[in-house]
Amino acid sequence: MVTLTQVYVAAEDCGFHCHVGADRLVFPCRDYVLIAYLEEGGPEALVFDSDLRIDVGMEQMHRLATVLNQWNLERIGPVLSLRVGDNGEVSLHTRMSILTGVGLTPGQLTEFVRTSVEATRMAVDYLATEFPDLAPEDSEDTQSHRRKQDTEALSDPLPRDRHVVINELDDDIGSLREISRGTFGKEHSAIMSTDQQAAEDWEGSQDPTPVTAQRINRVLSELGIKKTQGDDDLITAWINDVLFCFFLDNGPSYLIKGHWDSELAPGADFLRMFLLCNDWNQSSLSTKAFCHEDEDGLQIRAEFIASIGEGLNDAQLEHNTAVAINQVLHAIDSISTEATGESTVDWP
């Protein structure tokens, strides 16, 4: 079990100073407030969530959509999202998370803490380059405003209050596993063993080792996904009529991506589809969704990313893969239903 004290120690070891709250760590940064907390609902996770200190006007919405979508499409992390306030102001956010339900080694925890703090800084610098008003010059007023925001961040509601979807999905996991074992008549099936007990029952090694395509294929087979294609670079499989890709990136990261080829109009439908993806990104802890344009039109991708610089043991690899499949399916289900009135996911 990962504790907030362990996260604090890892941050201090990396040279990152933070304020300690009852249920969070607050990292005071120049242009944003970064909060680390433990999500104890469904799937357990350590989350680094930031709010930029300055809002953007609604008149910038279309450009914001383009800039945020491009980042989410091209970058491993963090996930960028926006939220429109009651008065039309647009606030910007970043989010990174790592699953903790089957534990983390000290090395894995330190790697994630370092990556989260540094990647968040890169993302905010990127946004400030695109929107210079997000990084105002220092003055007594701006410094006083920062101190006030940092103090409020220690007691304000945690960002988990807007992460509602993942908690609701937790109730689906048991029934989805049960149904998928015996009723799939198609060529692809999935056993969603995303709970901690299933991971604890794993009989493999508990020492983290490098993640390879061979290990991924073995986990997929254990999950009931036996008809896969690919090689050492990319594994594909159809799950619930959604095309999945499983591959390793030079982060190093383990990526699980689901495809919905909506073939909508890139110009006319982009902003609407971006906002649907953004709604998912605001509410999910572990996945992101974004628009992708190709010769056939505007397509939607949903993606889960696990950092593997310190390797994963068998239980962690199984847990991350199962949670990823479940959450990616729900992302595509939610977005396709909102966009067209029916789900592209073929649920059992």
Q: How many angstroms separate the CA atoms of 210 and 200, rounded? A: 20
Are residues 86 and 286 in contact, defined by beta-carbon separation less than 8 angstroms? no
Closest by CA position to 97, among listed 82, 79, 123, 75: 79
Are residues 217 and 235 in contact, defined by beta-carbon separation less than 8 angstroms? yes
The answer to whether the 4-161 and 165-340 domains have the same CATH topology is yes
Question: Tokens 């939610």, residue?
Answer: 334
Say which residue, 188 or 148, is predicted with more confidence: 148
pLDDT surpasses 70 at 195: no
Torsion of CA 3, 4, 9, 15, to 10 degrees: 140
pLDDT in the model for residue 1: 83
Query: For strand 297-307 and strand 287-294, is the pairing parallel, antiparallel, or unpaired?
Result: antiparallel
Give the DSSP letter string of 10-43. HHHHTT---EE-SS-EEEE-SSEEEEEEEE-SSS
The class level of CATH for 165-340 reads: alpha beta
Q: Report residue 162's pLDDT band, with 50, 70 and 90 as the boundaries.
A: low
For residue 54, which phi and psi values (nearest 5 degrees)?
A: -110, 140
Q: Would you state the structure tokens that stand for residue 239, as one six-digit string?
A: 């799950």
pLDDT in the model for residue 317: 97
Q: How far is the CA of 45 from the CAs of 3, 271, 311, in angstroms? A: 11, 30, 17
Are residues 180 and 173 in contact, defined by beta-carbon separation less than 8 angstroms? no
Q: Report residue 203's pLDDT band, with 50, 70 and 90 as the boundaries.
A: very low
Bridge partners (DSSP) of residue 287 are: 304
Q: Report residue 163's pLDDT band, with 50, 70 and 90 as the boundaries.
A: low
pLDDT surpasses 70 at 190: no
Are residues 57 and 90 in contact, defined by beta-carbon separation less than 8 angstroms? yes
pLDDT (mean) for 1-8: 95
pLDDT in the model for residue 184: 28
pLDDT surpasses 70 at 193: no
What percent of the chain clears pLDDT 90, i.e. is strictly above it? 70
- What are the pLDDT digits (tens) for 92-146? 999 999 999 999 999 999 999 999 999 999 999 999 999 999 988 888 888 888 8
pLDDT in the model for residue 198: 39
Q: Report residue 161's pLDDT band, with 50, 70 and 90 as the boundaries.
A: low
- What are the pLDDT digits (tens) for 60-103? 999 999 999 999 999 999 999 999 988 889 999 999 999 999 99
Q: Where are the beta strands (DSSP E) in the chain?
A: 19-20, 25-28, 32-39, 45-52, 79-84, 90-99, 229-230, 234-239, 242-249, 253-264, 287-294, 297-307
* CATH fold for domain 4-161: Yope Regulator; Chain: A, (3.30.1460)
Burial class (CB in 10 A: 0-12, 13-18, 19+), 163: buried
- What are the pLDDT digits (tens) for 11-31? 999 999 999 999 999 998 999
| Ranges of each domain in the chain | 4-161, 165-340
Looking at residue 135, the DSSP 8-state letter turns out to be S
pLDDT surpasses 70 at 202: no
pLDDT (mean) for 202-217: 81
Q: What integer best gives the mean pLDDT of the chain?
A: 86
pLDDT in the model for residue 295: 84
Are residues 314 and 280 in contact, defined by beta-carbon separation less than 8 angstroms? no
Q: How many angstroms separate the CA atoms of 284 and 163, rounded? A: 6
Tell me the pTM.
Answer: 0.87
How would you list the strands of the sheet with 19-20, edge to edge?
19-20, 25-28, 32-39, 45-52, 90-99, 79-84
Q: How many angstroms separate the CA atoms of 113 and 92, rounded? A: 21
Q: How many angstroms separate the CA atoms of 23 and 16, rounded? A: 18
